[in-house]
Amino acid sequence: MTPCREIRARLSEFMDGAVDAKAASRIKKHLEACPLCREELASLQAVSKALGTLKAVKPPDDFLEQLHGRMASEGLLRRLFQRRFIPFGIKVPLKLASAVAAGVLIFFVFYPKQTQPPVMAPTGVVREVRERTLASKSTKGREGARTGGSAPESTWSEVVPKRMSEPLEIVLYVKKSAPTGGKGPYRRVLEDKTKPLKAVSPAADQRALKRKGPPDGAAGARFTDRRTDEKKKAGAGSAPLVKKEGLEARVAAHVVRVGGRVIDSFEKTKEKILICRIPSEALEALEKRFKALDAESVFPDKALAKGRDFLRVRVRIVTAD
Amino acid sequence: MAGDGDSRRDEALVRAFQEGNRGAFDALVKRHHGRIFNLCFRMLGDSDEANDLAQETFIKAFNGLKRFRFEASFSTWLYRIAVNACKNRMRLVAYRLRRNTLSTNGKASLGEGGASLQLKDGNPLPLEAVEAKERALQIQEAILSLSPEHRAVVLLRDMEGLSYEAIADVIGKNLGTVKSRLSRARQILKEKLRGMLL
């Protein structure tokens, strides 16, 4: 750093008397010899003087009254806030954070993802389900006694959603039948009386099984196409035999036909589950279609569909082995 | 800058407030509101904003005065609150949009250093007064061209007359930072006001 640059860097503090004696004498000595640095010092002093001579701007005459008014209004707000949080010893930033967190929690508790009307226990459905369950138990019990199998049980919680955010549930009980003419995985399961399906070859059906759980409506259409292919392959005179898993495709096709789509599908022990989204007005049509299947179907109360454009439906295909 | 006598008076008033005398706070406001308002005005260049921030400063002081421990003088503490409030306000986007528009209305207006170039009766001011006002406006504009950090340091030193140590206490930085910021701020102002000062 040249002497002039070094001196100029310290001129500001020099003119305020904020440099030590040794540095001050060195700067003074330099200033005596350097007119440019003297000019620089004069400029800085002029700036400082200009700021110092700025006349003070006066506050409003009623400053204190304004302050009292503002303190009164802010004090009220503060007291309200303190009453909420001071007992817990929470500081101000945390107060805000906790208030926001509480708000978010309340929002997610009372406004679930899919808003549904409040679910009241429809007594008619409960009664119906119980009757069905009892009838099913007695029938299956008899069958079970014959075949050694156990009867599927249906309870209120299986049919009516427990919470508003849960999908409506449709249960399809697959009647257990002795295989007629089929071997291995083949079994006479269901018959769509309106559009009977034909038996399919194991290889073709295996390929179809890999496409389980179509993600959208187009995938549902694939199921329909596959069935058309199956028809061509099997011929009109074949027995109405489908593989057990074929019902899943049939259900998906019905969902697509009524204007819905299959969102997801997965398998549990002794049951397959399809998660679907259907227009609420299609629930009745879907019920009719499912009744055409050779399975016992349990539908939720139609009242649950009121006031909603679309329904999220969980179709459970329960098979008793 | 408040002298020793002023500091002792402030201390007595603060103690009185801490013992429950609410009137002592009003006395403190009356003693300091002019300086705080002026500092806020010079920091922001707007009388309404300055009034708002000066009030905000005293409200914060009121809320914190019970916990005041006399580690710094009351006036230094008050300056610290005011400078921080001004810096926070300047960070607001809305304020930045309006920053370059100096207020020409409001009860306080620019006062003697302000922008109004007319007397109350509508007659023009004398030439000297007009020149003084223009000069004050130029200086204010130059101050507003500084960053908030440089602005605070140069105003506290050259306008309020605080010592380097007191400024360091107000802005919460060390002496070296105060010196360098002050030097830089003066350099910038010198360049901005070159034609006017020399």
Give the pLDDT score at A294.
Answer: 73
pLDDT at residue A47 greater than cutoff 50: yes
Q: What percent of chain A has pLDDT over 90?
A: 18
Q: Which residues pair with A297 in a beta bridge?
A: A172
* ipTM given for this complex: 0.82
Q: How confident is the model at residue A73 (pLDDT cuts 50, 70, 90)?
A: confident
Give the integer Cα–Cα distance in Å for A143 and A152: 12
Whether residues A57 and B62 touch (CB distance < 8 A) is answered with: no
Closest to A53 measured CA to CA, from B80, B196, B6: B196
As its CATH architecture, domain B1-105 has: Orthogonal Bundle (1.10)
**Apex A108 CA angle, A107 and A109, nearest 5:** 95
Decide if B179 contacts B141 (C-beta within 8 A).
Answer: no
Decide if B17 contacts B9 (C-beta within 8 A).
Answer: no
Whether residues B108 and A16 touch (CB distance < 8 A) is answered with: no
- Out of B155, B164, B197, closest to residue A47 by CB: B197
Decide if B14 contacts B65 (C-beta within 8 A).
Answer: yes
Whether residues A12 and B136 touch (CB distance < 8 A) is answered with: no
CA distance A61 to chain B (A): 9
* Ranges A19-23, A63-67, A186-190, A316-320: which has the least confidence: A186-190
Give the pLDDT score at B86.
Answer: 92
Decide if A182 contacts A240 (C-beta within 8 A).
Answer: no
3-state secondary structure at position A294: coil
CA distance B148 to chain A (A): 16
CA closest to A60 among chain B residues: B108
Whether residues B111 and A55 touch (CB distance < 8 A) is answered with: yes
Give the pLDDT score at B75.
Answer: 93
Tokens of A100: 């926001």
Helix and strand numbers, DSSP H then E, in chain B: 10, 0
Q: Which residues pair with B118 in a beta bridge?
A: B124
Closest to A202 measured CA to CA, from A223, A182, A176: A182
Whether residues A67 and B110 touch (CB distance < 8 A) is answered with: no
Sort B154 into a burial class: Cβ within 10 Å, 0-12 / 13-18 / 19+. Answer: buried
Q: How confident is the model at residue A122 (pLDDT cuts 50, 70, 90)?
A: very low
Q: What percent of chain B has pLDDT over 90?
A: 61
| Selected residue with higher pLDDT from B148 and A247 | B148
Give pLDDT tens digits for A201-240.
445 445 554 554 444 444 443 444 444 444 444 444 333 3
Report the length, in residues, of chain B: 198
Give the pLDDT score at B161.
Answer: 92
Q: How confident is the model at residue A63 (pLDDT cuts 50, 70, 90)?
A: very high
Whether residues A47 and B158 touch (CB distance < 8 A) is answered with: yes
A50 in contact with B, Cβ within 8 Å: yes
Residue type, A91: K
Tokens of A47: 């700036």
Residue type, A199: A
Give the pLDDT score at A188.
Answer: 40
pLDDT at residue A17 greater than cutoff 70: yes
Q: Which residues pair with A318 in a beta bridge?
A: A173, A271
CA distance B192 to chain A (A): 10
Whether residues A54 and B154 touch (CB distance < 8 A) is answered with: no
Closest to B115 measured CA to CA, from B127, B92, B97, B132: B132
Count Cβ–Cβ pairs < 8 Å, chain A vs chain B.
114
A56 in contact with B, Cβ within 8 Å: yes
Give the integer Cα–Cα distance in Å for B155 and A224: 81
Tokens of B170: 């107000």
Residue type, A99: A
Decide if A211 contacts A158 (C-beta within 8 A).
Answer: no
User: Which residue shows structure tokens 């003074």?
Assistant: A28
Give the pLDDT score at B9.
Answer: 92
Q: How many CB atoms are located within 10 Å of the residue A316 CB?
A: 19
**Torsion angles phi and psi, residue B122, rounded to 5:** 95, -10
Tokens of A151: 């009867």
Whether residues B38 and A64 touch (CB distance < 8 A) is answered with: no
Query: How many alpha carbons lie under 13 Å from residue A145 in its C-beta half-sphere?
Result: 5
Tokens of B108: 């306080």
DSSP secondary structure, A97-159, as one string: HHHHHHHHHHHHHHS-SS--------HHHHHHHHHHHHHHHHHHHHHHHHHS-------HHHH
pLDDT by residue for chain B (198 residues), tens only, comes to 556 678 889 999 999 999 989 899 999 999 999 999 999 999 998 899 899 999 999 999 999 998 898 888 999 999 999 999 999 888 875 555 655 555 544 444 444 444 444 555 556 667 778 888 888 899 999 999 999 999 999 999 999 999 999 999 999 999 999 999 999 999 999 999 988 876
Give domain limits for chain B. 1-105
- Out of A48, A56, A60, closest to residue B38 by CB: A56
Tokens of B2: 């408040």
Handedness of CA A135, A138, A143, A144 (dihedral sign): positive
